[in-house]
Structure 1
Amino acid sequence: MKKNKLYISIFFLITLIGFSACKDDMMEEITKLEVDRAFSPVGLTAVVVNKTGVRLAWANIPNAKTYTVEVFANTDFSGTPVKTVKDITFLQVPYTITGLAGNTQYAIRVKSVGEGIDDSKYVSALIKTEPEQIFQDIAAGKLTATTVTLNWPAGENVTTIALNPGGISRALTAAEIAAGEVTLTGLTPKVAYTATLSLNASVRGTKAFTTPAQLPTGADVVVLTATDDLAAMIQAATKSTRFVILEGSKYDASAPIILPAGIDISVIGEVAAVKPVFSVNTITLPTVGGKLHFENIDLTAYAKGDETLSPSTRRQYIINQSAASTFDQVSFENCNIRHFVNTPLRIQGANPITINKVILNNCVIDNISVTDAGASGSYAFIHTNVATGKFNNITLTNNTFSNIGYGIILHNAAPSLSLTVENNTFYNVVGDTRYFIDYNAQTIANGFSLKNNILAKTFSPLGTGRGIRSATAPTTANNFQASDVVFAGNAIPNITAYTGTSTTLFTAPATKNFKIKDDGFVGKATAGDPRWR
């Protein structure tokens, strides 16, 4: 019996030793895992950059020495790749594939390459490049009412130029290709054109532009000479008049201008590389008036248009209306509006004042309601805080606003009929405790549209600026807000956050170059002032 117990004990001991040995072997296998091929890349992403490049990124693979990328001009990896790149190290990731065709669908695959083991299986991504754009921006002075000169990098491989409307299409000459420049003539004023630059059937660039108006003609046109007193001529007008300021001219109105009643007044600058200057010191609207229109004018608050003078010479307003008035329209087209201490557009006082329409299109607005010391001022760009004064319909489209020390609109004591804010770029706007747009509890009866705008950086040093306050919620679409926009409250509804700052998004915002430089920004082709896309 004792002998049997001894045998049983020996058996269990041997068994235990065996299990222990197996466990050691199992641990050894786990810690010395060996495979016969590299692991596949994981987390592959593909993003279009610079129209025809694709930036690839993936996670590092421990047993990969290098990586291989293959690019196919289809979606099923059939045929031969149009581009193969080998020996990419992880230090080169993200890796950008360049030299692809524009507006083309590609299938891209990546594999890991190990040392002494087989290559991994491929991982893949599908992506379509954007239409190529080698056209440069149209330089000032190269677009007139009847001609345009278009440029691209000299010597690029191109063959034809086309222009629509008009159905113009012709081969480029060797000299034009070498110079990277072509001039098209016989255009029609005030027409929106699209030029297309091609290499055989492949589009290499498109450029949309609108020809400016020719200098107006007619019995109502007065072309000013250098010695004319524009302010006096406006006040003396007895019929609707279009005043034309020629290239290089500067006109100063040191005294307030009182508009004549019941007529339309336009001040139109000749299209040129530098806009004609009109330095204004307050315009008073009549009791009953028609329209006041500025086009292609540099409206500056500096006396005599001279920015070398002391900042103390800056004027305060374009319109600061306190007298009773019912006025049809105030409009600005392709103007610069700059340096006003307070605001271009203010209604004040107890008298009844209605301006039916305010329209700003394709304008550049800078340094409004900012003190000489650089602090926030006291007036919004469009400003009324009295129950007796209102702007019925406000339209702000295709503009750039920068360095606005208060806000864009204050209309907090009376309602409006409509408000449209679309395709604008806003930089360094909204002061401490102020609102981007403030209607308080007032309504906008026929709707408030807020679409395709970019907000970048707030002016508020304390971070106490606010977004939108209105009894009428805006209809929104495709709006973006950079990370250096700080609102303490009243967030703009349905706005898309851009994770970078204004300096990440724009080329040089501090010097007023708001060209979008971030190719990964999803609103690059659709949001903000179109001049910067």
Structure 2
Amino acid sequence: MKIKYILKGLIATLFLTLAMTSCENYNEPLLDGIGNTREFSPTSLTAKLRNQTTVELNWTVKEGENNYVVEFSADDPTFSAIFKTVQVTASQLPIQIKLEGETVYSIRVKAVTPGLDDSKWSITTATTLSEQLFLPIIPGDITGKQATLRWVANSNVTQIVLTPGNITHTITAAEKTAGIATITGLAGETTYNAILQNGSKNRGQTSFTTEVDPTNAIVISATDDLMSAIATAASSGKVLLLQPGDYTSQSGLVTLSQTLTLRALTSWNKPKLKINILLNNGVGNLNLIDLDLTGVGMTNASVITISSAGTFNDILIRGCYVHDYTRSLFANTAGAAKINSLTVDNSIVKNVNTNIGAEFIDVRTAYIKSIVLQNSTFDTCSDSREFIRLDQSAGLNNTGLTSDVLINSCTLYKVCTTVASKRILYIRFTSNTSTVKNTLITDTATAIYSNQNGTATPTTPPTFSNNNYFNASLLYTVGAAAITVDKSTTYGTLDPQFTSAATGDFTIKNQALLDKKIGDPRWIK
């Protein structure tokens, strides 16, 4: 019996000892924290690339911490050689550090507080892109056959390589000092990619498009007869180039039965015109390029109209500022026309379709194979009507034809906004597809994409990708089953923080939105 009780006592003592040991171990970290002799390591360390070679660092600041040391090593994850050391205070976060291009940087951060040991390092990495020593191209630097390129003066650079054509321009000592070189022998209307190099290392990249070569074109000035010149260009098949100037005193309707290309002689100085255009059968293509088109004072005028049957190829509006037309950008209310494409590219369209009589792109009786709106801004357009309307055109619908709509990298501001439930995609042509991507839509609280789901004339559900909506909640908020909304997992609702929307400056200030590259690229700076 005594042995039994002795064993029970020993077991109880053993459990008590283990419990006490466990309690001591449990409290050790707490006691160590209370009497801590080392700073805590920075947490949530992030490194984001800004502007090719600038890395933005940020981390969570703990109470009582204020000073940090940041070290960078170049192409060396072991930190055997430190490329750069920076002292940072908490108030400087997030901080941007300029680094060299085309390098993988290992980055470590530690907290430093007097009276405590330095914290352990927190580590991350960032890979920079090629440097950007090229400076912005100045209006007039690019002509039809040559380009003047500028970079940071006195930089170590040896040549500029252009493609297409594999053109190499060796930089002279004088050009290096000045930071300016002119490259000749280029082709007109060609987009070139230029790489600035020091030996084999890239130190800058830019692209540009040469101006039109006027050699075989008709060139006029604002003092010439505009309407006569348009007629001559259309009948001859030649491009009509307009020198900079104000042509608005020669206003009116331009009626065409032949192909016409009407464009600025210099893209950076747009000629001002007050015209609207009617296309009749026989027009192959219409190209409006680098023009300032106004409808001020014109009564109930659409920019472009087709009202007759026929086959038309491509309609292009590129690099234009189109503004103050009370009716449609494109109108078709009569005529079973077949149109290959309507494209608006790199343009600003403002105050177009501001009365209540039509839609912005209004196709009632024709068929358009492709509508593309890209790299463009639409400011206060079709405020009380639909944005894109494609009807079930008699004799063309259900004949094997499909209409495709693409809105890509655009900024839409106050579109379809003054009357409830106006549609951005009012597409009733039976066979249709549509895509909206990389697009910023703001200040259109009542607009919807479509309410055709499940009806006799359904809008095929669009493909949505990487869009942002601000003050435009009906474009993504699920409601009635018939309403089309963006159900993707890629859209955002960030405030773009426009510089001055009221004056037409839609430059984005929200860095998160800039990172996602949403909207018209001209406002992403």
Distance 1:237 1:528 in 2: 33
Give the aligned partner of residue 363 of structure 1. Answer: 347
C-alpha spacing 1:72/1:169, structure 2 compared with 1 (3 Å): same
Identity of aligned residues (%): 29
| Match status 1:267 vs 2:262 | yes
C-alpha spacing 1:498/1:75, structure 2 compared with 1 (3 Å): farther
C-alpha spacing 1:508/1:165, structure 2 compared with 1 (3 Å): farther
SS at match of 1:124: strand
Give the aligned partner of residue 360 of structure 2. Answer: 381
TM-score, with structure 2 as normaliser:
0.78
| Match status 1:209 vs 2:226 | no
| Match status 1:403 vs 2:380 | yes
TM-score, with structure 1 as normaliser:
0.77
Give the aligned partner of residue 467 of structure 2. Answer: 480
C-alpha spacing 1:319/1:182, structure 2 compared with 1 (3 Å): same
Distance 1:150 1:518 in 2: 31
Distance 1:178 1:340 in 2: 50
Cα deviation for residue 437 of structure 1 reads 3.0
143-152 vs 271-280, which deviates more? 271-280
> What are the Cα deviations for residues 364-408 of structure 1, in whole angstroms up to 9, with x where unaligned?
32222246xxxxx55433113x3x333333233333333324354
| Match status 1:292 vs 2:269 | no
C-alpha spacing 1:71/1:277, structure 2 compared with 1 (3 Å): same
Cα deviation for residue 166 of structure 1 reads 3.2
Distance 1:75 1:511 in 2: 49
| Match status 1:424 vs 2:424 | no
Cα deviation for residue 216 of structure 1 reads 5.4
1:51-450 mapped onto 2 (5 Å cutoff): 51-62=52-63, 64=65, 66-74=67-75, 76-86=77-87, 88-96=88-96, 98-156=97-155, 158-215=157-214, 217=216, 222-224=218-220, 226=222, 228-232=224-228, 234=230, 239=235, 241-252=237-248, 254-260=251-257, 263-280=258-275, 282-287=276-281, 289-302=283-296, 312=297, 316-349=301-334, 351-370=335-354, 379-384=358-363, 386=364, 388-406=365-383, 408-414=387-393, 417-421=402-406, 423-432=408-417, 433=420, 435=422, 437-445=424-432, 447-450=433-436
C-alpha spacing 1:241/1:35, structure 2 compared with 1 (3 Å): same
Structure 1 gap ranges (5+): 1-18, 303-311, 372-376
C-alpha spacing 1:256/1:66, structure 2 compared with 1 (3 Å): closer
C-alpha spacing 1:48/1:435, structure 2 compared with 1 (3 Å): farther
> What are the Cα deviations for residues 450-503 of structure 1, in whole angstroms up to 9, with x where unaligned?
44x321423x3xx111235662233444x3215344435632343733453222
Contact kept, 8 Å, 2:234 with 2:260, in 1: the verdict is no
C-alpha spacing 1:247/1:495, structure 2 compared with 1 (3 Å): farther
Cα deviation for residue 298 of structure 1 reads 2.4
Paired AA for residue 390 in structure 1 = Y
Count of residue pairs the alignment pairs up: 477
Give the aligned partner of residue 16 of structure 2. Answer: none
Paired AA for residue 318 in structure 2 = E
Cα deviation for residue 237 of structure 1 reads 8.1
C-alpha spacing 1:239/1:499, structure 2 compared with 1 (3 Å): closer
Distance 2:40 2:314 in 1: 69
C-alpha spacing 1:65/1:293, structure 2 compared with 1 (3 Å): closer
Distance 2:308 2:204 in 1: 53
Cα deviation for residue 120 of structure 1 reads 1.8
Paired AA for residue 99 in structure 2 = L
Paired AA for residue 438 in structure 1 = L
Contact kept, 8 Å, 1:48 with 1:519, in 2: the verdict is no
Paired AA for residue 411 in structure 1 = L
C-alpha spacing 1:120/1:138, structure 2 compared with 1 (3 Å): same
Contact kept, 8 Å, 2:244 with 2:264, in 1: the verdict is no
> What are the Cα deviations for residues 232-267 of structure 1, in whole angstroms up to 9, with x where unaligned?
56568884533523312444554433323xx32332
Of the three residues 448, 467, 478, the one matched with 1:466 is: 448
Give the aligned partner of residue 45 of structure 2. Answer: 44
Give the aligned partner of residue 6 of structure 1. Answer: none
Distance 1:296 1:91 in 2: 47
Distance 1:176 1:109 in 2: 40
